[in-house]
């Protein structure tokens, strides 16, 4: 019995010692683990993980917005700029009384009360825009209210110093600065910059600590400045004079485009339209490339380009021209009554005879007429790569009907854009070389480095001889034909009038009452003996007068008179006196810069040459 008790007592003591040792070992293990973790945090990894955690809790990253590149004219006059702007935002979770706050803000902001209340009542949101890109004055008024949860942040806004000037070309951006139309969209990749990133220190409540740590991680980079071929003053005049012409003829709208025929550089492109209230304003639609219309008689020089180039006839070639001609049971008549006459090609063009043009086109034939018109660029995009550009409509020869040749030869049954026709006339002015139109001279980066925008070389489509003969005939149109109203004092002008029926959307001509609607045009260039400027004017639906010679030609003349002065294109008398000693010629800022740069380059070369002469010979 005694042995049994002793054995139980020994067992109990053993278990107690085991528990004590086990507990001690556990405490030692935990102590070692904590010691190792403490050494690891403080020595081995320097507590980086927890330092990073603490840093992330007190540091915030702010996006530094990039300025979108400016758009300037050929003389570096600003057309579109990016400027700083304020934006009003809210943290709805911190707004105690949404209705009261909305009422206070509605007295300052342009946002409606109901919309403000709706946004401020979204308690599950921590950020809402109330109104973006407001004026400094408006932002200051909001700031003075001192409402908790209402903030003012920095943004950038896009402005046009000239308001609606060249809107049809420049286009627009959305509220976030992305190009959505016009040049803004076409050249978005050049204009858009790259945003930066800055790290700022924040305190309690997430507010930035004044004087705290601010570090720029990545600097923002502004977009490139786009230098256009447009001359701002010429563009302004084009819009004003065109609007006056549309008002004078009670028309629905108009388009005017001016180009340097040797380079394809567009110096002005204006579009105006009549609004529903009857007022005529600058349009945001670039109808020079988006609107296809039947050109009428301004097509005739293109038809005769084929006749002359293919040696089918010469300006002096004579043919008997009746007042009307029947083709496939379709009667084609001249716009003026006359007996059967013997007219030369030059006289046919001067009088704008439909019948005479058709008869010579028949001699040329369908195949050669189609090929000639295609070579001018009809039925093709011009290469400007602007949004919405249409290629117009020139049916393939295989689809022509029996009346296609006579209608197309006189500018009906074919659709063109004003830009296509201007390029075609520029080819005539440019000795048979068709230019590729351009709107951009180049880009300038933030360091001021200018890079020329690559452009295609003109394409020869007919001979210089043909060009000279066409110009001589077209000059006759202006001196004593249908285009006398296009004359510009001191300059020889070559061109052609056009008066076309406007087709209905579902085919045919005239409205439900049988009344015809017209499109009046004049296209030409000057000086005729050495063309430096080609211009097209298209008046849409003039009422009275409605002919190209009376509705469009006067607009051409008035605009041309301004443009030749602004662009410093000398008259015939001035060109004769250019070499007179002591003569002073006015220059634009761009021309003055070019002259100064050329003079500096010449001086540098002269200095180098002097140094080479003065240097002792070696050996």
- pLDDT greater than 50 at residue 430: yes
Task: For the chain, give the mean pLDDT.
Answer: 84
Token couple for 298:
């301004």
* CA 554 – CA 619 distance, rounded (Å): 74
Do 302 and 426 contact (CB within 8 A), yes or no?
no
**Number of Cβ within a 10 Å radius of residue 313:** 18
Q: What ranges do the domains of the chain cover? A: 61-228, 232-573
- pLDDT greater than 70 at residue 41: no
- pLDDT greater than 80 at residue 19: no
- pLDDT greater than 50 at residue 617: no
Task: Give long-range contacts, CB 8 A cutoff, 24+ apart: 190-193.
Answer: 190/69, 190/223, 190/224, 190/226, 190/443, 191/68, 191/69, 191/71, 191/223, 191/224, 191/226, 192/66, 192/68, 192/69, 192/223, 193/66, 193/67, 193/68, 193/69, 193/220, 193/221, 193/222, 193/223
What's the confidence (pLDDT) of residue 303? 97
pLDDT digits (tens, 9 = 90+) for 434-462: 999 999 999 988 888 888 888 888 999 99
What's the confidence (pLDDT) of residue 513? 59
What's the confidence (pLDDT) of residue 95? 85
Q: Which of 64-78, 295-309, 479-493 has the lowest mean pLDDT?
A: 64-78
Q: Which of 100-109, 164-173, 287-296, 423-432 has the lowest mean pLDDT?
A: 100-109
Mean pLDDT of all residues in 336-354:
94
**Number of Cβ within a 10 Å radius of residue 133:** 16
Q: With residue 99 as reference, give the H or E element that holds it.
A: helix 98-106
Mean pLDDT of all residues in 554-571:
95
What's the confidence (pLDDT) of residue 506? 65
CATH class of 232-573: alpha beta
What's the confidence (pLDDT) of residue 615? 39
Hey, what CATH topology would domain 61-228 get? Penicillin-binding protein 2a (Domain 2) (3.90.1310)
Phi, psi dihedrals of residue 488, rounded to the nearest 5°? -120, 120
Mean pLDDT of all residues in 327-352:
92
**Number of Cβ within a 10 Å radius of residue 309:** 21
pLDDT digits (tens, 9 = 90+) for 107-117: 888 888 888 88
Q: For 558-609, give the DSSP string.
A: HHHHHHHHHTT---HHHHHTTTSTT------HHHHHHHHHHHHHHHHHHHHH
* CA 307 – CA 364 distance, rounded (Å): 6
Which runs of E-coded beta strand occur in 138-297?
Answer: 150-159, 196-201, 214-218, 225-228, 253-259, 266-274, 280-282
Virtual torsion, Cα 458, 459, 460, 462, nearest 10 deg = -110
What's the confidence (pLDDT) of residue 5? 46
Do 590 and 228 contact (CB within 8 A), yes or no?
no
């Amino acid at each position: 019995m005694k042995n049994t008790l002793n054995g139980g007592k020994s067992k109990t003591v053993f278990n107690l010692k085991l528990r004590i040792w086990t507990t001690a070992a556990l405490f030692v293990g935990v102590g070692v683990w904590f010691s190792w973790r403490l050494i690891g945090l403080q020595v081995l990894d320097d507590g980086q993980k927890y330092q990073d955690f603490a840093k992330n809790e007190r540091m915030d990253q702010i996006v530094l917005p990039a300025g979108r590149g400016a758009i300037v004219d050929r003389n570096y006059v600003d057309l579109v700029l990016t400027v700083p702007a304020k934006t009003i935002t809210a943290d709805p979770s911190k707004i105690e009384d949404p209705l009261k706050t909305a009422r206070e803000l509605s007295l300052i902001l342009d946002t409606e009360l109901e919309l403000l209340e709706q946004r401020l009542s979204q308690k599950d949101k921590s950020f809402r825009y109330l109104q973006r890109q407001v004026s400094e004055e408006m932002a200051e008024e909001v700031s003075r209210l001192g409402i908790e949860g209402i903030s003012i942040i920095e943004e950038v806004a896009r402005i046009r110093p000239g308001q609606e000037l060249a809107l049809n070309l420049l286009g627009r951006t959305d509220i976030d600065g992305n190009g959505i139309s016009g040049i803004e969209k076409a050249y978005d990749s050049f204009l858009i910059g790259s945003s930066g990133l800055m790290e700022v220190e924040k305190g309690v409540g997430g507010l930035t600590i004044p004087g705290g740590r601010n570090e720029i991680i990545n600097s923002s980079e502004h977009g490139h400045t786009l230098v256009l071929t447009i001359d701002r003053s010429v563009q302004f005049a084009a819009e004003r004079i065109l609007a006056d012409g549309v008002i004078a003829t009670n028309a629905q709208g108009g388009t005017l485009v001016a180009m340097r025929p040797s380079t394809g550089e567009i110096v002005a492109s204006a579009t105006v339209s009549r609004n529903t209230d009857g007022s005529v304003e600058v349009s945001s639609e670039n109808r020079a490339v988006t609107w296809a219309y039947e050109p009428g008689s301004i097509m005739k020089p293109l038809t005769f380009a084929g006749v002359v180039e293919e040696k089918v006839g010469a300006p002096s070639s004579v043919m008997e021209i009746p007042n009307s001609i029947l083709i496939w049971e379709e009667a084609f008549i001249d716009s003026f009554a006359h007996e059967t006459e013997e007219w030369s090609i030059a006289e046919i063009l001067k009088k704008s005879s439909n019948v005479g043009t058709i008869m010579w086109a028949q001699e040329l034939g369908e195949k050669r007429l189609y090929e000639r018109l295609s070579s001018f660029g009809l039925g093709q995009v011009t290469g400007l790569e602007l949004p919405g550009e249409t290629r117009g409509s020139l049916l393939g020869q295989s689809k022509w009907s029996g009346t296609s040749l006579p209608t197309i030869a006189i500018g009906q049954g074919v659709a063109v854009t004003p830009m296509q026709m201007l390029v075609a006339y520029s080819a005539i002015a440019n000795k048979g070389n068709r230019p590729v139109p351009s709107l951009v001279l180049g880009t300038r980066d933030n360091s001021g480095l200018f890079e020329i925008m690559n452009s295609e070389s003109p394409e020869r489509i007919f001979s210089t001889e043909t060009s000279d003969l066409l110009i001589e005939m077209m000059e006759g149109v202006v001196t004593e034909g249908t285009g006398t109203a296009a004359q510009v004092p001191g300059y020889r002008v070559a061109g052609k009038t056009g008066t076309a029926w406007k087709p209905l959307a579902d085919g045919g001509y005239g409205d439900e009452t049988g009344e015809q609607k017209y499109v009046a045009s004049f296209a030409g260039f000057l000086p005729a003996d050495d063309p430096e400027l080609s211009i097209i004017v298209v008046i849409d639906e003039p009422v009275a007068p409605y002919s190209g010679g009376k509705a469009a030609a006067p607009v051409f003349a008035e605009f041309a008179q301004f443009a030749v002065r602004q662009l410093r294109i000398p008259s015939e008398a001035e060109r004769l006196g250019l070499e007179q000693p002591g003569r002073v010629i006015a220059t634009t800022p761009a021309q003055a810069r070019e002259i100064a740069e050329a003079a500096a380059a010449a001086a540098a070369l002269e200095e180098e040459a002097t140094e080479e002469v003065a240097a002792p010979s070696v050996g």
